Structure 1
């Protein structure tokens, strides 16, 4: 295949137009009616993968960065149902949780800010930035392609692309009638249906519509209400439904696409707080995957409308994508993580939190891709983004306390709880950016790229906490009748605060690429990314005066250097890259419960360093036998001065439930105030030293169909799941006193202080003071499927199994008042029947 230089302008133009129509594919496009004729101009080899990582269409081997492309065939054959499942087939990528929010990581770059905060791996769906993390949990109904861009993408994809970006494109209207409908039934009464239909309405107008539905009983074991030492059935079942519709019309040189998307995900797995370690009196020890909570609701809904306009100007394409999103998120959870019952020690403090969050987002993305200038590809663009977030009336992070009366017990309805406090807030974010990117083709083989973006963001936030009783025990003493105080009334204390901030950053990038052989390139690149600062919606420690100190965090930045080689041939493709990241002011957080309310303690680590090697290859051994594999070797460590306020343990306290296997896991946690911990030089969160995958696919042809066997193995070494806390640390009183005595300065916390202060009780654990406690051990996941497709390639039947070794692994791990850890799906299996045309 040729490289796309000035001598092959028409080929480059065809590739650009193909990408405009979502043509990230492995085959050329057929002839089409007028509204889709641009696709026919693309001239692409059968094995060339076209990507839009640089906002223009290029063969993937010509892009000077690591890009993973996941095709629809891979998604279906290997059980990839959501963005979450991409971690099984994508090197250097993982997706875990922090509380109720899914958080991706690419090469160790991630966020642990638990709450309504944006991730630092940007997700774009059909050209629109997705602010709400819950989208990451959704099933994928009609995916055309998924591109995972690794490394900071600040120049082309803007704010919050510190670690990279995920570009998800759904099926555009097609030139002829196409469709697919399938139903699935699996373990845990997992019922799914999804499908799409696409085609022309007239010579100039096409349509596509897709939908999904899923409902399960859940894989968590439900603790019995009548005998809390036993389990009774399954719980935390999820419900999902979505509709995506597009109309696309040709208006001559102008193409317009109008789209509407509706998404609902009722997924209580994120509201899990049942503890299994570091228990206190009044709890019953639980195993991983057991649930004993009084309330768990996590119901997300989003409506999204968009208009995409593409104008072929003769010298390039001017594109505008305008979008509006309205979403609601209902969250109800029992932070205590156990059933409540009258008479148990400490049950008077059992609480349930309830909230309804509204988000409204407007965005405008404009870019002009100019390819008519000889030896130059030029992109000029800008973005505008506005997000408003607020609580619904009467559900402002409301905190309710258990009605401690003789008639209350396990299963007491939420309606009987008493209102203890509300924590209201409203936040507005407004951002704009201008960017320019230029690629100079110095010769047929050598190209140089430079680009950059200037971004500016303002945030305004107000917060009011109203406490209806001085302490929770005072609330419980008010009697059996629920308190009914209208919003805005006061009882006890009121905390008010208002703040704002502005962030700005210029994020450059540059690269050089040289073709050493046909379709084989070496490259070197530099890129930068940044994530804007954040404000905590809950006033820390019920003290408005400390909001700026503990409830606000500045922006983070990252500088990335990468060298690599990429190539492709008639039956193979490969890439190999080495990278080094300098990470500054990275955002981290811990979680505390203050008077029953969940509080996120936002923190900043001055620096971190990440270096690694990543390789991927795909090889068609024969036309019927394919191999895909990838691996990432990573060394990601916090730098000097990484002082973290986390959760330690108290060896001086008598454990309520001693743990003979590991005594530290039986001790009570030290969490208010949090301990000071020196985590300098320790492994960064979600950054295993090694992870890799290998996938195999073998097909026995039968006409246009046949029998396809597919299997995938994903392996990862031990890593810190969510919380960077260590077992040791220094108490707040001790560390503050030492700082005062020294007159301030850069004084590291003494990680052994908590153990030495406990005297003989702490002596056996001094050597473990620096051990990161919230770790997941090494594990492997195996998925496999067998698919029969009839000789006409219309009907298919698939039998599949995921996590075939039934590995129990943690997707979130947080020590707070007690320690809890949600788990990933255990062994699941089922069957799928489908029809396509």
Structure 2
């Protein structure tokens, strides 16, 4: 039974590519897995102009990816979490090489050593565990090879953007290979201007180092990896929307302009180290996976008066530090018609946030104050899943996980102009919940699979840091029913995968922003239903078309006490029962066409992607929607006949469409927004040795 690290992919004879995925923690063909999965190879990622995890929504049906302050907020089939704090875990879990990444600021991923991306839809808590209620985004990187190999590329784009990547791999000793991946990005000119200081905003710089060492013996495989990421971006470059009372009398703003008395920034530093040991025991494979993560984050945000004289009304520097530890033990085996796996998972997350506020906006508190919060999460779970072949064509899968979670916070607020500590709160909350999976799949023909499944997903309850009043929020629960079809047709010239689903959602967790904190509370109930379609057509060897379509209807069945913020910043409490849930467009889709032209002087490639996203809402009150939009990306490339040299011309958002990364209401101030990138383009030179 191949463990998850052994998966790869193979090319059919002029047909669609057969991708091996690890959706069930073992290597299996995408077309044999009874789960809705969108899988992308490294070539597909490049052809579609995907530069990081935040761009995945352009090509994955029913995936929405808002972003605030350098933190991704993924929503799959309308299920997600809009909290941006370092103590707020997501409902869509992020995994890198089988390791869960908890800190939100660490899930903004960009790789140059990628093997494939997998997006698993629907609750995946039985095997993946913690907070995979909406699904899983899984990044799988290349394993190093014994044969020496090197890849380099350098590029330049508008806004004075420089990108450089290097990947080197080779053998160190018999059975031992290593690699090193280096990635550098610097956008020196901003998309907009801070109209108070005159300086550029909306620019970024990142550097990443990753290395993997793999020892392969007769019955043992040991993988050691480490990564270092450091970045700086604009972060919370929030722009007040026209019509907000807070900007009355102010002049117009450009799409990316802001008015802040100081320059906003968002700095991150993430370090991860992991060790995986895979040992064949004869009757089963034993796998031990150990992870350590260290996350350091600092950002500054400011709300200033929008007309002269410019004064900072609310300024805050936030320092966040987090450490995560995880240990998993697995046994994977096969006994006749039964494939099985059992395991246990231990997780700890330590978190600290320190925020000095300018308190002028917080009447009756008249002066500066500081909030200080510490948090800790501990989780222990045990799980098992088995797939039994009832016949050669019919298989039944059953799995269960039982999880114990404990969350603790220690919050304090210090007012330096009054009496010292003005508020103090120590709190603890625990939960014990099972999750499960039941599935039946039938192999109609060797090329057609049908399946039905029922999954229970749980996202742990918890506490909001910097919240001094609430008693915490309960676990959210999702019951998911799905029916699917996976088919290779016409001698594998066509791959057609589709899944219909219905979700019953209870205790939905919703993040509500105020001027001093983002508080998570429970909505009552919601229901979701929809359809996913992935279609790939390769009528001839050198031409392919990929289509993704998502249809979604997601509404709150009952949500009576929902906070709402008007355009002028006036807060209220409203009944949003029957409203559409957040970040759930009714339609999303993409079409990618790629044409390869072999010639005597090398191979040429032309690829274009058109993406459409329907109207969606950032808040439960359904005010201030995200407008629908359509984007166009394109790539033209040449590769030498030996495959060692290449050049690419690329463009993204070629029609310069205005669309938004985030829209955030702030009680007492009004509606704010951050626009997504404008038209960008550039050239990239590539070399292999």
TM-score by length of 2: 0.94
Q: Which residue does the alignment assign to 2:382?
A: 434
* Residue equivalent to 2:427: 499
The residue aligned with 1:288 is: 255
1:320 maps onto 2:283 in alignment: no
| 1:617 alignment partner, one of 527, 531, 535 | 535
1:565 has 2:485 as partner? yes
The structure with the largest helix share of the pair is: 1
Distance 1:781 1:822 in 2: 17
Distance in 1 (alpha carbons) for counterparts of 2:635 and 2:254: 30
For residues 282 and 350 of structure 1, the distance between their equivalents in structure 2, rounded to whole angstroms, comes to 17
Query: Paired residue for 1:40?
Result: none
2:205 maps to which residue? Answer: 239
Structure 2: distance between partners of 1:693 and 1:338: 41
CA distance in 2 between partners of 1:99 and 1:250 (Å): 41
1:676 aligned residue: 573
Q: CA deviation at 1:313?
A: 1.5
Is 1:599 the equivalent of 2:517? yes
Is the partner of 2:552 in helix, strand or coil? strand
1:209 maps onto 2:105 in alignment: no
TM-score (norm 1): 0.78
SS in structure 2 at match of 1:821: strand
Distance apart, 1:831 and its partner CA: 0.5
Structure 1 unaligned blocks of 5 or more: 1-12, 29-44, 227-231, 404-417, 471-489, 650-667, 726-771
Q: Conserved in 2, the CA contact under 8 Å of 1:101 and 1:270?
A: no
Task: Give CA-to-partner distance per residue, 1:59-88, whole Å, 9 cap, x none.
Answer: 111111110101100111221110011111
Instruction: State whether residues 275 and 286 of structure 1, in contact with CA within 8 Å, keep that contact through their aligned partners in structure 2.
Output: no
Report the CA distance between 1:382 and its aligned residue: 1.1
What's the CA shift string for 1:509-539, capped at 9, x where partnerless?
0100111111211100011111111312113
Which of these residues, 56, 61, 65, is aligned with residue 91 of structure 1? 61
**More strand as a share of residues:** 2
Match of 1:467 among 385, 400, 415: 415
Residue 638 of structure 1 is aligned with which of 538, 543, 556? 556
> Does the C-alpha gap of structure 1 residues 337 and 84 become closer, same or farther in structure 2, counting only changes over 3 Å?
farther
Counterpart-to-counterpart distance in 1, 2:115 and 2:494: 21
* Shift, 1:100, TM fit: 5.3
Aligned twin of 2:660: 810
Trace 1:173-192 onto structure 2 (pairs within 5 A): 173-192=144-163
**Residue 640 of structure 1: how far off its partner (Å):** 2.1
CA distance in 1, matches of 2:457, 2:398: 15
Are residues 1:710 and 2:607 paired?
A: yes
Q: CA deviation at 1:776?
A: 1.3
Q: Closer, same or farther in 2 for the Cα pair 1:700/1:155, shift >3 Å?
A: same
Spell out the pairing of 1:102-181 with structure 2 (5 A cutoff).
Answer: 102-116=72-86, 117-181=88-152
Q: Deviations 1:713-769 (Å, cap 9, x if unpaired)? A: 11011111x2223xxxxxxxxxxxxxxxxxxxxxxxxxxxxxxxxxxxxxxxxxxxx
> Based on CA coordinates, which of the two structures has the bigger radius of gyration?
1
Which of 484, 492, 515 is 2:443 aligned to?
515
* Aligned ranges 1:522-601 → 2 under 5 Å: 522-539=450-467, 544=468, 546-548=469-471, 552-568=472-488, 569-593=491-515, 598-601=516-519
Alpha carbons 1:69, 1:147 under 8 Å: kept? yes
Name the CA shift for 1:800/1:99 in 2 (closer, same or farther; >3 Å).
closer
> In the TM superposition, what is the alpha-carbon distance from 1:199 to its structure 2 partner?
1.8
CA distance in 1, matches of 2:619, 2:239: 15
Q: Which residue number corresponds to residue 343 of structure 2?
A: 381
Tell me how far apart the structure 2 counterparts of residues 680 and 463 of structure 1 sit (CA, whole Å).
33
CA contact (8 A) 1:273 1:337 kept: no
Contact 2:284 2:332 in 1 (8 A): yes
Deviates more, 1:190-199 or 1:245-254: 245-254
Structure 2 counterpart of 1:830: 682
Q: What residue in structure 1 maps to residue 358 of structure 2?
A: 400
Instruction: Please give the alpha-carbon distance, in whole angstroms, between the structure 2 residues aligned to 1:192 and 1:249.
Output: 32
How much has 1:274 moved relative to structure 2?
Answer: 4.6
Take 1:433 and 1:285, find their aligned partners in 2: how far apart are those partners? 54
- Please point out which of 637, 647, 654 is paired with 1:797: 647
How far apart in 2 are the matches of 1:773 and 1:295? Answer: 30
One of 565, 587, 592 as aligned partner of 1:647: 565
Query: Which residue matches 1:658?
Result: none
**Is the 2:224–2:275 Cα contact (8 Å) retained in structure 1?**
yes
CA RMSD of aligned residues (A): 2.1
